[in-house]
Amino acid sequence: MVAALRPDDINVALLVHVAGAMVLVGGLLAAAAAAIIGWRDESPALRVLSYKTLLAVVLPAFVITRVAGEWVYVKENLDDQPDQVWVGIGFITTDLGGILLLLALVLGGVGLYRTRRGGGGALLKTSGVIATVLLAAYVIAIWAMGAKPT
């Protein structure tokens, strides 16, 4: 008989959290790639794609990841346990990442509006840069969740 790593009643919360995080990182990868590839392109099409990916994929996935992460945190009673570095890294990256994501969405939204009038490219580029920074931060968070440093 193999010992379980965690109680079965946590599996759904953990599955939702991990699935949301996978979509979040995949969306950030797509947004960052579109922004980087479209960096020097005269047409803003890839930068617009980057912004729309942030809005349509990354934002909902972020909300799902954050809510499900809190759900796991409560179900595993991690608030009753001594401070764990990996939990702190998860909270820091999602909280600061949420602020950066909102900033990227606002800048990209203004840039998208200005693109229709012939400008806004710099704001869309900035939104793509923030997406790239977020991708790097979430890769660190993935490492922390998997390695669980003490």
| Domain definitions of the chain by residue range | 9-147
- Residue with the bigger pLDDT between 88 and 97: it is 97
CA-CA distance, 23 to 124, in Å (whole number)? 22
Q: What pLDDT score was predicted for residue 6?
A: 62
Most confident of 5-14, 16-25, 44-53, 111-120: 16-25
pTM of the complete model: 0.88
Q: Is the dihedral of CA 130, 133, 137, 138 positive or negative?
A: positive
66 in Cβ contact with 121 (< 8 Å): no
Mean pLDDT of 51-60: 96
Report whether pLDDT(5) > 70: no
